[in-house]
Structure 1
Amino acid sequence: MQIQEALAGSLADVVAVVALLALLVTAYAHPRPLVEAAVAVVAGLAALATGRLGLDAVGSTLGHLAPVVVFLAAVLVVPEVCSRAGLFAAAAAVVRRTDRGDPRRLLLGAFVLAAAVTCVLSLDATVVLVTPVVVAAARGAGWSSRPVAWACLRMANSASLLLPVSNLTNLLAMRDLDLTFAGFALAMAPVLVVVLVVEWVALRVLFRRELSPATASGAGAVGGPRAGAVGEAGADEDGGVAAVAPPWERVPLVVVTLMLAGFAVGSPLGVEPGWVAAVAAVVLVGWAARRGLLTWPEAGRATHPSFALFVLGLGVVVATLTTGPLGDAVGRLLPAPSGAPSWTDLLVVALVATALANLVTNLSATLLVVPLVAPLGSDAVLAALLGLNIGSGLTYTGSLANLLWRRGLGHSTAAPSMRTFHAWSLTTTPVVLLAAVTALALT
């Protein structure tokens, strides 16, 4: 009987691991939505078939993920409307006009823009929508586009610390944090300041030759995948940079501002961010539809329902793995609960989260590591988020945002080679992570 139980347990572990691998391969391949949805459903059902999760556990997992999925669907629509309204191109136009013949000014503008968009609208908006317009702005100015493209990627991961809505990892962790929306922001704000300083210094060092005005103009950079002919920065028909900057649309700016206020006000009242984002998305789509910028079917496709199914399937699979040897192994690596965690404890948590993020992507790692870290307290969960967000920039596989960024750049010279990507990441990410953990421990 014991042998049969052991064999059944081993088979369940194998099925759960294979299901996770299928999901990860799907995430990397980025197939058609129907394929993504089918793999998610099959993987989830396979994990359930192992019997590792009871009905209560399944209900708890799906109940935890449901508000996150609602938020995810809504928050994908909001930046899409902002993009079609020309807000990102208008912001890039400001960045382009303030370079004053100095590529360092252009980089600073792109750095600030990418950080702000990541904090307010999530990291996906930065890699998918901001990167092409700032790359095109750099191309139009005659500078190398590599520094601004790299700044967008670094900010997509590292600047996603400030708000619970900046990164899906943060939102998934909120259930295990004794913090409101505003409390989360206050706890992470000093850490973010330190992170931004270190990231900026790293950018200046990495691209010191390309940022020299004497050599930058000869860089001959090629813009992003949608970069068109360039004059003064604005949006052209291909999403690049055109001769006349588009006007700032007030409605999207006001709605996004009210959405952020709604997050802060609703959090202490128990209102999930997803419902606030859903209201904002409906208002923006209605406005965009009247302006002819977006149709309701296009808005529906922008929610990426297949990815919502993917997140639900992933949650079930990872919950199954957590109950097995993988969860036990990760638990043994983490510090034991013993009062307030020390700097060393926080560093260990951040390093474990970083390793897991780069093995199974930060989304999977969040579902695995955060529940195991929660008994150590809120500071430990925040330390895990440092590894899951900053640490995910270590490799291409650390974050889905990394893969989207690389796919978006295509074959342009703004995209570094595999070797260069990891060389830059290895020289930057550990330093930023160490500084962030130290800042968290001191605040």
Structure 2
Amino acid sequence: MSTQALLAAAIFAGVYFLIVTERLHRTLAALLGAVVVIATGLLSQGEAFSESVVDFNVIFLLAGMMVIANILAKTGLFQWIAVEAVRITRGDPYRVLVIASIVTAVVSAVLDNVTTVVLIVPVTFFIAKRLRIDPVPILISQILASNIGGTATLIGDPPNLIIGSRLGKDFGDFLLNTAPAAIVSLVVYLAFARWLFRGQLGRRMLSAKDIDDLVAEERRIADPAMMRTGLIVLLATIAGFIVARPLGLQGATIALAGAVVLMIVSKDDVHEILKTVEWSSLFFFIGLFIVVGAVVKAGLIRDLATATLGITGGRTDVAALLVLWMSAILSAIVDNIPYTITMVPLVSELGHSVNIEPLIWALSLGANLGGNATVIGASANVVVSSMAEAQGYPITFRGYLRYGLPATFLTMVVCTIDIWLRYLVFS
């Protein structure tokens, strides 16, 4: 291993240690790692802040959607949705968790999962406040559901966009090959969630009078005109996401355009609006992108993947399951975007000697669902944890791992069975 590779590994391990042990706030740990990467010359300043290292599309898409979500929140829209959820579930915490998770998963299939949680998580905070329950189990469940739902479609998660673009797969291919596993994974997880969060959700139910009082007090829209305008802008933004790729536009361009239009129409103070953006999440991503960029440039991920894939012995079944589990494990540690970019050419090369189809879908399922294992494994995880921290409900690395790891293992077992039966037994 080269000196550069050893140094990159040491910096990455150091940042991860600081995050896991909570010796330093995760944003500071990531930024410190980025500074060390640049100072040691692993990446030049130009490389560190280039588009190939820092995904500015993700950064500005997040910022734009946070602005849209917060302006909509002020109209009372999310409060109205929350009251409806409480009314339907009668305030039962487990039912609330199930409804919140299903809605999150479905929306994540048609929007990217980060945008989804930015829009939906404010509803969870309101419900938890009114029911006087801990929102953390529901928030963790929404993180898991967002990544599961995003796995189902081409546009739901960035790894799928990368795989689709570089390996020639379209929307229909993902619906046929990843959506079934995602649906079964969600159902199995929600059944498991009652046991996973046992003792934390309780069995509290609201009486009919309590529900009527809540509806009378809170089921109102503070600014109907602004809500209608906000929904029009939101729907236009969503439509923009769908047509952005054929038009050669990035999601960030669409999100920022929607945010600017809504800020102009709302006439709210710009400084107050920008205060609602989760800046700590954005700077965490920038720092982590740079640290992972150094690891990728040093060839560590490629070397590990190549060595692991080299033991397949030309067998499709071994290769597919190896790609699945290796992707899940590595995506829990590093961001799944650079991991997927690194793995696509390796999977393509391996496809010259074995059937490539199961490898493609194993990569998609593993990279997307593996991110559920840790609080920094996927973008949605980081955003939700930052939003929770801002509301006074910190989600620690170890606290999340307690739930994320077993849930991820369970969904990966589902995916293993799916890959085995669909492509290796009945193909």
**Residue 40 (structure 1) aligns with:** 34
Does the 8 A contact of 1:314 with 1:364 survive in 2? no
Deviates more, 1:178-187 or 1:150-159: 178-187
Establish whether residue 391 from structure 1 lines up as the match of residue 370 from structure 2.
Answer: yes
For the aligned residue pairs, the C-alpha RMSD in angstroms reads 4.5
**Residue 7 (structure 2) aligns with:** 15
Runs of 5+ unmatched residues, structure 1: 1-8, 219-230, 235-240
**Residue 317 (structure 1) aligns with:** 294
Deviates more, 1:194-203 or 1:433-442: 433-442
Establish whether residue 438 from structure 1 lines up as the match of residue 425 from structure 2.
Answer: no
- 1: CA distance between counterparts of 2:234 and 2:82? 18
- Cα offset, 1:132, TM superposition: 4.7
**Residue 307 (structure 2) aligns with:** 332
**Deviations, residues 211-268 of structure 1 (Å, cap 9, x unaligned):** 67xx4359xxxxxxxxxxxx7379xxxxxx956355583344344444444444454x
Establish whether residue 382 from structure 1 lines up as the match of residue 361 from structure 2.
Answer: yes
- Cα offset, 1:286, TM superposition: 1.8
**Residue 210 (structure 2) aligns with:** none
- 1: CA distance between counterparts of 2:51 and 2:232? 32
Establish whether residue 425 from structure 1 lines up as the match of residue 404 from structure 2.
Answer: yes
Taking structure 1 as the reference length, the TM-score comes to 0.71
Map 1:242-281 onto structure 2 (within 5 A). Answer: 244-246=220-222, 247=224, 249-267=227-245, 269=246, 271-272=248-249, 274=250, 276-281=251-256
Does the 8 A contact of 2:373 with 2:408 survive in 1? yes
Paired amino acid for 2:57: V
Residue 85 and residue 406 in structure 1: after superposition, are their counterparts in 2 closer, same or farther (change >3 A)?
Answer: closer
Establish whether residue 290 from structure 1 lines up as the match of residue 269 from structure 2.
Answer: no
- 2: CA distance between counterparts of 1:438 and 1:338? 21
- Cα offset, 1:15, TM superposition: 2.7
**Residue 224 (structure 1) aligns with:** none
Paired amino acid for 1:43: V
- Cα offset, 1:118, TM superposition: 3.3
- Cα offset, 1:96, TM superposition: 2.0
Paired amino acid for 1:206: L
Map 1:70-81 onto structure 2 (within 5 A). Answer: 70-81=57-68
Does the 8 A contact of 1:362 with 1:398 survive in 2? yes
Map 1:44-443 onto structure 2 (within 5 A). Answer: 44=38, 46=40, 48=42, 64=52, 68-86=55-73, 87-125=77-115, 130-141=120-131, 145-181=135-171, 183-185=173-175, 187-207=177-197, 215-217=203-205, 232=214, 244-246=220-222, 247=224, 249-267=227-245, 269=246, 271-272=248-249, 274=250, 276-293=251-268, 295=270, 302=277, 306=283, 309-310=286-287, 313-314=290-291, 316-322=293-299, 327-334=302-309, 341-342=316-317, 344-363=318-337, 365-375=339-349, 376=351, 377=356, 379-399=358-378, 401-410=380-389, 421-440=400-419, 442=422
- Cα offset, 1:411, TM superposition: 11
> Does the residue aligned with 1:166 lie in a helix, a strand or coil?
coil
**Deviations, residues 133-168 of structure 1 (Å, cap 9, x unaligned):** 314314423556454233212213322213444334
> Does the residue aligned with 1:394 lie in a helix, a strand or coil?
coil
- 2: CA distance between counterparts of 1:331 and 1:170? 21
Paired amino acid for 1:249: M
Paired amino acid for 1:351: W
- Cα offset, 1:17, TM superposition: 2.1
Does the 8 A contact of 1:44 with 1:317 survive in 2? no
Does the 8 A contact of 1:392 with 1:398 survive in 2? yes
Residue 168 and residue 97 in structure 1: after superposition, are their counterparts in 2 closer, same or farther (change >3 A)?
Answer: same
- Cα offset, 1:13, TM superposition: 1.7
> Does the residue aligned with 2:410 lie in a helix, a strand or coil?
helix
Percent sequence identity is 22
- Cα offset, 1:435, TM superposition: 1.2
Does the 8 A contact of 1:358 with 1:392 survive in 2? yes
Runs of 5+ unmatched residues, structure 2: 207-212
Residue 332 and residue 317 in structure 1: after superposition, are their counterparts in 2 closer, same or farther (change >3 A)?
Answer: same
- Cα offset, 1:179, TM superposition: 2.0
- 2: CA distance between counterparts of 1:147 and 1:431? 17
**Residue 209 (structure 2) aligns with:** none
- 1: CA distance between counterparts of 2:278 and 2:132? 36
Does the 8 A contact of 2:65 with 2:115 survive in 1? no
Paired amino acid for 1:392: G
- Cα offset, 1:80, TM superposition: 2.9
Residue 45 and residue 172 in structure 1: after superposition, are their counterparts in 2 closer, same or farther (change >3 A)?
Answer: farther
Does the 8 A contact of 1:163 with 1:181 survive in 2? yes
Paired amino acid for 2:71: R
